[in-house]
């Protein structure tokens, strides 16, 4: 009986030590996982910041009919010159979004235009909105995360605008009359 008790006591001590070691390892892994999750959140935030910066040179032009073997850059330059009376705009690049789906009737794909200077980009979007051109439309080129957030806040922005306030969506945040909107 004494041998049996000693054996079980020894086994219990071994199991307790093993369990304690497992718990210690689990806590270390949990801490490590939390640290890696925090790093991932920071990396995602930095990537979004960099994407916003890159896209801050871009505008999307929509409603422009597609033509076979077109040059989107020249097409946009012609529109800027003839429709908006802007001759001195410098475009780095322009291209249509997505792929053409054969056999489907679809609306024209957007043209993403990258400007060399942000100031010229601002001039184009302001002039297009002021002239209220009907043949095409111009909008900011936002990252997917910002589009989603802006869509979620659309009702709030609309209500603020109807109340005579100035809603402004910038860098994933909504400002109403210059103050950050918090849900």
Closest CA to 110 of 91, 94, 126: 94
Is 94:111 a contact under the CB 8 Å cutoff? yes
Q: pTM to 2 decimals?
A: 0.74
* Inter-CA distances, 18 with 4, 5, 13, 26, 27, Å: 21, 20, 9, 12, 14
Considering only CA atoms, which of 140, 174, 171 is closest in space to residue 52?
171
Whole-number pLDDT of residue 2: 74
168: pLDDT confidence band, cut at 50, 70 and 90? very high
Residue 150 is predicted with a pLDDT of: 94
d(CA 10, CA 14): 6
pLDDT, tens digit (0-9, with 9 covering 90-100), for 91-143 = 999 999 987 777 666 788 999 999 999 999 999 999 998 888 888 999 999 99
Task: Share the mean pLDDT of the chain.
Answer: 91
> Which of 10 and 54 is assigned the larger pLDDT?
54
Query: Which of 179, 170, 182, 113 is CA-nearest to residue 146?
Result: 170
Dihedral sign (CA 18, 21, 26, 32): negative
The stretch 74-91 carries a mean pLDDT of 93
Q: Alpha-carbon distance 74 to 33, whole Å?
A: 51
Q: Are 43 and 61 in contact (CB under 8 A)?
A: no
């Amino acid at each position: 009986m004494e041998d049996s008790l000693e054996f079980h006591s020894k086994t219990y001590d071994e199991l307790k030590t093993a369990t304690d070691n497992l718990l210690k390892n689990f806590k270390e892994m949990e801490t490590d996982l939390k640290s890696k999750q925090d790093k991932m959140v920071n990396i995602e935030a930095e990537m979004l910041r960099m994407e916003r910066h890159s896209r801050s040179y871009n505008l999307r032009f929509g409603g422009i009919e597609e033509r076979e073997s077109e040059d989107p850059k020249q097409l946009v330059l012609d529109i800027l010159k003839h429709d908006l009376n802007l001759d001195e705009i410098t475009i780095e690049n322009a291209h249509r979004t997505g792929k053409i789906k054969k056999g489907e009737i679809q609306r024209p794909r957007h043209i993403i235009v990258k400007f060399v200077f942000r100031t010229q980009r601002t001039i184009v979007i302001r002039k297009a909105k002021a002239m209220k051109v009907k043949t095409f439309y111009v909008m900011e080129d936002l990252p997917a995360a910002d589009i989603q957030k802006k869509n979620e806040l659309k009702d709030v922005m609309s209500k603020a605008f109807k109340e005579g306030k100035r809603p402004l969506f910038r860098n994933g945040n909504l400002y109403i009359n210059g103050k950050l909107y918090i849900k």
